[in-house]
């Protein structure tokens, strides 16, 4: 499905379907009101009324807002898959262009890699008609890039763990680097041992797939800012010897969503040609069971040199991130911002629900600015506050720190505080941790998200990076 921006004109093609977004107020003066009344159409949000005799499709809007337009467009994207038309046309303006594109691309997304006979949509092109293509051209191109980067992220997350393991994720990163002219460096296990990444190596020890640390960099000339992005890349998480229940292991291919998000973000940034330097770091590891698996009661030595008491091998993502965060801070000197993305805790879903990304860090201003960017991008975020009392719950009697809290409460925050232990003092106010455990994957469609990966983090982080001056 190709989307094209054109100057406003009537498309005299019997195989074209015209979409009309309409509010209840506009419905009272609609040209075909009598026919719409007969169909029982009230213009309620996301309701559809096709009028095939006129090649029209009406979709209800509660009111004109980005969220309403985006979900309406997503509803349309799903509905038209069964239609016989060849093209779809929609009138757009400066305010509706972005949410319509996002709704169509993200709401119409399908992951058909493993389908032997996927259904093919008859509509091949969507025309967005406007008064002035030149005025909206830049916004159109930008929105397409970000939406497609989000779908790129979804594709990686949705790929089965036997096909997307640390080695294939590293190959994908290399291809992205070649295609987008990025720098790329992959550390294998020999290099990880040389770097003394004891935590990463322990987590991946029982897997037949070698762990990797991936570093991709976008370095434009005269960059205004330098950003480090760190992603948790657990290509599959069985829980290790602290084995997950069988039902909880289903969907654990999504435990690499943080890594996929940072790859999607750097893809978008490089294609938008933003004048900021961005480094993406990924700890690609598989947490499996076996005779060589790391164990509860083990004491690991992190790259930083801190010792970590393991009390639960299913709290593995923070161990991987501990080493990657330390490595990233050594490689990116004096970053302006340092952000990590991870499907880290089920506790974040307990606190915020499955739709919202948890945001943690020391800087109130930075958390506020990210919240504004997320709101503008159409993603949901909420802050979870650090405090010294919860930090005490990570105390170990035999090591420098324990990998889980000694109490069952505040699990998302204590996981964030564990990561905070590996943030250098000079970077404390520049760092934020994003827990996307709930928002990165869904089995029930919502907003522009269909079954599977959502691409959480790509849109709001790109929005934030675009705003940097």
Q: What is the 3-state secondary structure (H, E, C) of 107-168?
A: HCCCCCCCCCCCCCCCCCEEEEEECCHHHHHHHHHHHHHHHHHHHHHHHHHHCCCCCCCHHH
Q: At what angle do helices 257-272 and 458-466 cross, to 10 degrees?
A: 40
d(CA 418, CA 406): 13
Residue corresponding to tokens 């992220």:
153
Angle at the Cα of 341 from the Cα atoms of 335 and 347, rounded to 5 degrees: 135
Q: At what angle do helices 317-331 and 411-420 cross, to 10 degrees?
A: 30
Measure the CA dihedral 254/256/261/266, to 10°. -150
The closest of 34, 28, 25, 80 to 57, measured between CA atoms, is 80
The closest of 379, 365, 389 to 434, measured between CA atoms, is 379
Active-site positions read 244, 318
List for the chain the helix, strand, coil content (%; round to 5): 40, 20, 40
**Residues 6 or more apart whose Cβ sits within 8 Å of residue 267:** 149, 152, 176, 180
The token duo for 249 is 């292991």
Distance set, CA 354 to CA 316, 336, 346, 381 (Å): 21, 30, 9, 11
**Residues 6 or more apart whose Cβ sits within 8 Å of residue 235:** 161, 164, 165, 166, 169, 209, 253, 255, 256, 284, 285, 286
Q: What is residue 9's DSSP assignment?
A: -
pLDDT values of the chain reduced to their tens digit, one per residue, 469 residues: 799 999 987 677 789 999 999 999 999 998 899 999 999 999 999 999 999 999 999 999 999 999 999 999 999 999 999 999 999 999 999 999 999 999 999 999 999 999 999 988 899 999 999 999 999 999 999 999 999 999 999 999 999 999 999 999 999 999 999 999 999 999 999 999 999 999 999 999 999 999 999 999 999 999 999 999 999 999 999 999 999 999 999 999 999 999 999 999 999 999 999 999 999 999 999 999 999 999 999 999 999 999 999 999 999 999 999 999 999 999 999 999 999 999 999 999 999 999 999 999 999 999 999 999 999 999 999 999 999 999 999 999 999 999 999 999 999 999 999 999 999 999 999 999 999 999 999 999 999 999 999 999 999 999 999 999 8
3-state secondary structure 390-417: HHHHHCCCCCCEECCCCCCCCHHHHHHH
d(CA 121, CA 383): 41
The closest of 205, 202, 216 to 279, measured between CA atoms, is 216
Residue corresponding to tokens 């324990």:
402
d(CA 220, CA 180): 12
d(CA 36, CA 38): 5
What the chain holds in terms of domains, given with CATH numbers, is: 2-131 (3.40.220.10), 148-466 (3.40.630.10)
**Residues 6 or more apart whose Cβ sits within 8 Å of residue 335:** 226, 227, 228, 279, 329, 427, 430
Question: Which residues make beta-bridge pairs with 76?
Answer: none
**Residues 6 or more apart whose Cβ sits within 8 Å of residue 263:** 152, 153, 156, 172, 173, 176, 216, 231, 280, 282
Distance set, CA 361 to CA 213, 381, 416 (Å): 24, 13, 8
Cβ-contact 219, 274 below 8 angstroms: no
**Residues 6 or more apart whose Cβ sits within 8 Å of residue 29:** none
Residue 310 has a pLDDT of 98
d(CA 208, CA 226): 36
- Strands of the sheet with 56-60, listed across from one edge: 2-7, 125-130, 87-91, 16-22, 56-60, 48-51
The token duo for 440 is 């990165």
Buried b / exposed e across 383-413, counting CB within 10 Å, b at 16+?
Answer: bbebeeebbebbebeebbbbbbbeeeebbbb
Residue 144 has a pLDDT of 98
**Residues 6 or more apart whose Cβ sits within 8 Å of residue 62:** 23, 24, 44, 45, 68
pTM of the model: 0.97
């Amino acid at each position: 499905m190709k989307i094209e921006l054109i100057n406003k004109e009537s498309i005299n093609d019997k195989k074209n379907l015209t979409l009309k977004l309409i509010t209840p107020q506009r419905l009272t003066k609609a040209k075909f009101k009598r026919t719409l009344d007969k169909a029982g159409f009230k213009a309620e949000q996301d309701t559809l009324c096709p009028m095939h005799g006129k090649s029209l499709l009406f979709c209800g809007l509660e009111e004109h807002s980005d969220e309403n337009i985006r979900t309406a467009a997503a509803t349309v994207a799903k509905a038209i898959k069964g239609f016989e038309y060849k093209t779809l046309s929609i009138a757009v303006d400066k305010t509706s262009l972005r949410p319509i594109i996002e709704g169509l691309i993200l709401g119409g997304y399908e992951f058909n890699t493993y389908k032997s006979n996927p259904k093919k949509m008859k509509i091949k092109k969507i025309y967005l008609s406007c008064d002035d293509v030149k005025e909206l051209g830049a916004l159109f191109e930008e929105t397409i890039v970000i939406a497609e980067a989000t779908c790129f992220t979804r594709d990686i997350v949705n790929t089965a763990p036997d096909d997307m393991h640390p080695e294939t994720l590293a190959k994908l990163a290399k291809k992205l680097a070649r295609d987008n002219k990025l720098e790329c460096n992959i550390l294998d296990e020999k290099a990880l041992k040389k770097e003394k990444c004891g935590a990463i190596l322990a987590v991946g020890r029982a897997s037949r797939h070698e762990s990797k640390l991936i570093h991709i960099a976008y370095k434009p000339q005269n960059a205004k800012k330098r950003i480090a992005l760190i992603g948790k890349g657990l290509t599959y998480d069985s829980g290790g010897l602290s084995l997950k229940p069988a039902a909880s292991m289903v969907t654990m291919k999504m435990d690499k969503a943080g890594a996929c998000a940072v790859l999607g973000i750097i893809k978008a940034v490089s294609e938008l040609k933003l004048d900021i330097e961005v480094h993406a770091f990924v700890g690609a590891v598989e947490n499996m069971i076996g005779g060589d698996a790391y164990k509860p009661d083990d004491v690991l030595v992190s790259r930083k040199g801190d010792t970590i008491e393991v009390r639960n091998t299913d709290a593995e993502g923070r161990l991987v991130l501990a080493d990657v965060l330390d490595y990233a801070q050594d490689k990116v000197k004096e970053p302006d911002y340092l952000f990590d993305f991870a499907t880290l805790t089920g506790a974040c879903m307990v606190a915020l629900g499955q739709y919202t990304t948890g945001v943690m860090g020391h800087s109130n201003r930075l958390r506020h600015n990210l919240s504004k960017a997320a709101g503008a991008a159409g993603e949901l975020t909420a802050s979870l506050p650090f405090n010294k009392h919860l930090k005490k719950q990570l105390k170990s009697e035999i090591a420098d720190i324990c990998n889980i809290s000694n109490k069952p409460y505040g699990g998302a925050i204590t996981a964030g505080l564990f990561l905070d232990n590996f943030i250098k003092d000079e970077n404390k106010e520049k760092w934020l941790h994003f827990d996307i455990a709930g928002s990165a994957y869904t089995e029930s469609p919502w907003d522009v998200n269909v079954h599977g990966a959502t691409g959480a983090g790509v849109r709001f982080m790109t929005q934030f990076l675009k705003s940097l001056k």
